């Protein structure tokens, strides 16, 4: 029989770090499982080196708690930089890959989380509407782990699906696109990174080469420490749950990356000596499975900046950022450029009493999902899921007032 924990968290991204640390701060014995050799999720494995969602569009801080502890560790490493994007007004936190990995290690280690890297979830057992154990695979073989409570922060709903919990999957052509982040060196400090400059370069490239690239604008920004440039330009309408299709889309995205490099070197000031350092390594996945929660956040909740003073476990101030297709991004601001509350029911499984979904698994309709999925908010929903799971392990089940009180004690914003 396998080892026993109070809480098992599947996934090591923002939501998983939030959940594991929040549960550990609550006194639980916690195992965090991550398939890659480091924590950080999309920030590190997909080079999405921007934490979005810590601030609303007025610049008000809406996420603290575990997320703030992560930012503090980045400050300690001299790797924290905020930036307001000119054409959206969104305030983001820029990251350095290695500093982010180390900060995640330090945050989880200080909290007493047991982190299991190089370990992939391959199965789960369900009994009487509850998850009782998970099966992991690593180089040493297979391992069975039992727990009282489980948080799925895998992004793809791997645990929920394996355990037969309720999940929802949108048709592929209605999902948010995935983006391959490109990291460039040799870009001049005063190089043109503007939206208009990118559009002009892509148009000129199409005219000179006959190659029409799907996206002609996107985020391009110098990173802290290295001053490399990341650019979010390469989009794929990927079915990340279909390995055959996803493999094809990864290869297609890498081909596009070289075409963008060619376009920017030839047609954008300050880019003539640019070179491609790295892509990804993995496509930045925005959407696959969703938790079927006890409650679903709606577009109206988001756009009206709805407040829920009795059931809120997190805040989100990110606009609706709808990546509706390759090269297409639509922003819709929240009322007053403010924030809305995320209710407890949106992270709680509707049919599995001891399971929670965090980060991009948060239960939301398609338009609301385009807001709540970002990494800053994932720290907050993960934090709440971890606290709830820890209380469940102590046989204090779904007491929202008590969960909110513990989150406030841990300096979360609810």
**Over the stretch 292-311, which tens digit does the pLDDT of each residue have?**
999 999 999 999 999 999 99
- Per-residue pLDDT, averaged over 193-220, amounts to 96
Taking the C-alpha atoms of residue 263 and residue 256, their distance in angstroms, rounded to an integer, is 10
Calculate ∠ Cα 48-315-147, nearest 5°.
Answer: 75
CA 338 to CA 359: how far, in whole Å? 20
Query: Mean pLDDT throughout 124-150?
Result: 97
Give Cα separations from 58 to 88, 91, 336, 408 (angstroms). 12, 9, 8, 23
pLDDT surpassing 70 at residue 316:
yes
- 373-383 pLDDT, tens digit per residue, is 999 999 999 99
pLDDT beyond 80 at 227: yes
Query: Is residue 1 predicted with pLDDT exceeding 70?
Result: no
Query: Packing angle between helix 97-111 and helix 65-76, nearest 10 degrees?
Result: 120
Burial class (CB in 10 A: 0-12, 13-18, 19+), 135: middle
Q: Measure Cα distances from 196 to 22, 86, 193, 201, 219 in Å.
A: 43, 12, 9, 9, 12
Q: Which residue has the higher pLDDT, 396 or 350?
A: 350
Average pLDDT over residues 113-136: 98
Give the tens place of pLDDT for each residue, 344-356: 999 999 999 999 9
Is the predicted pLDDT of residue 389 greater than 90, yes or no?
yes
User: How far is it, in rounded angstroms, from Cα 378 to Cα 94?
Assistant: 16
Q: Tell me what pLDDT residue 343 has.
A: 98
Question: Can the peptide bond before residue 281 be classed as cis, meaning omega within 30 degrees of 0?
Answer: yes
Q: Answer yes or no: is pLDDT of 396 > 90.
A: no
Tell me the whole-structure pTM to 2 decimals.
0.97
Whether residue 86 is predicted with pLDDT greater than 80 in this model: the reply is no
pLDDT digits (tens, 9 = 90+) for 177-187: 999 999 999 99
Distance between CA atoms of residues 376 and 57, nearest Å: 13
Tokens of 104: 């995640």
Say what the pLDDT of residue 295 is.
98
Asked if residue 104 lies in contact with residue 248, where contact means CB atoms within 8 angstroms, the answer is no
Q: Are strands 167-169 and 289-291 parallel, antiparallel or unpaired?
A: antiparallel
- Span 387-405, average pLDDT: 95
State mean pLDDT over 279-290: 97
Average pLDDT over residues 280-287: 97
Q: What percentage of residues in the chain have a pLDDT greater than 70?
A: 100
Percent of the chain with pLDDT over 90: 97
Mean pLDDT to the nearest integer, 52-72 = 97
Rounded-to-integer distance, Cα 13 and Cα 151, Å: 12
């Amino acid at each position: 029989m396998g080892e026993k924990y109070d809480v098992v968290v599947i996934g090591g991204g923002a939501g998983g770090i939030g959940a594991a640390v929040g549960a550990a701060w609550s006194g639980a014995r916690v195992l965090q499982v991550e398939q890659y050799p480091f924590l950080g999720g999309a920030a590190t494995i997909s080079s999405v080196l921007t934490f979005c969602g810590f601030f609303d569009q007025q610049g008000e801080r809406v996420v603290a708690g575990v997320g703030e502890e992560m930012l503090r560790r980045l400050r300690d490493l001299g790797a924290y930089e905020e930036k307001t994007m000119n054409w959206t007004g969104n305030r983001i936190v820029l990251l350095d890959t290695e500093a982010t990995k180390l900060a995640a290690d330090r945050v989880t280690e200080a909290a007493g989380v047991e982190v299991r890297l190089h370990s992939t979830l391959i199965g789960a057992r369900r009994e009487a509407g509850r998850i009782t154990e998970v099966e992991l695979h690593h180089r040493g073989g297979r391992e069975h782990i039992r727990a009282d409570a489980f948080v799925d922060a895998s992004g793809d709903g791997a645990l929920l699906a394996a355990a037969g919990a309720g999940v929802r999957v949108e048709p592929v052509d209605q999902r948010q696109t995935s983006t391959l982040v490109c990291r460039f060196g040799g870009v001049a400090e005063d190089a043109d990174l503007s939206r208009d400059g990118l559009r002009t370069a892509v148009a000129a490239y199409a005219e000179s080469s006959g190659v029409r690239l799907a996206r002609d604008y996107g985020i391009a920004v110098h990173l802290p420490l290295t001053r490399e440039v990341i650019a979010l330009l390469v989009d794929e309408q990927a079915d990340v749950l279909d390995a055959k299709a996803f493999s094809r889309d990864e290869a297609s995205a890498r081909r596009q990356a070289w075409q963008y490099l060619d376009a920017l070197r030839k047609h954008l000031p300050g880019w003539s000596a640019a070179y491609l350092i790295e892509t990804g390594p993995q496509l930045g996945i925005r959407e696959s499975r969703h938790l079927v929660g006890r409650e679903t956040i709606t577009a109206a909740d988001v756009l009206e900046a709805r407040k829920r003073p009795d059931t809120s476990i997190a805040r989100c101030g990110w606009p609706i950022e709808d990546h509706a297709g390759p090269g297409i991004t639509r922003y819709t601001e929240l009322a007053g450029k403010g924030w809305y509350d995320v209710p407890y029911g949106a992270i709680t499984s509707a049919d599995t009493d001891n399971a929670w979904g965090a980060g991009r698994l948060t239960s939301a309709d398609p338009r609301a999902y385009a807001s709540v999925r970002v990494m800053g908010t994932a720290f907050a929903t993960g934090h709440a899921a971890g606290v709830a799971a820890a209380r469940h392990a102590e046989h204090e089940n779904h007491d929202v007032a008590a969960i909110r009180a513990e989150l406030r004690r841990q300096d979360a914003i609810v």
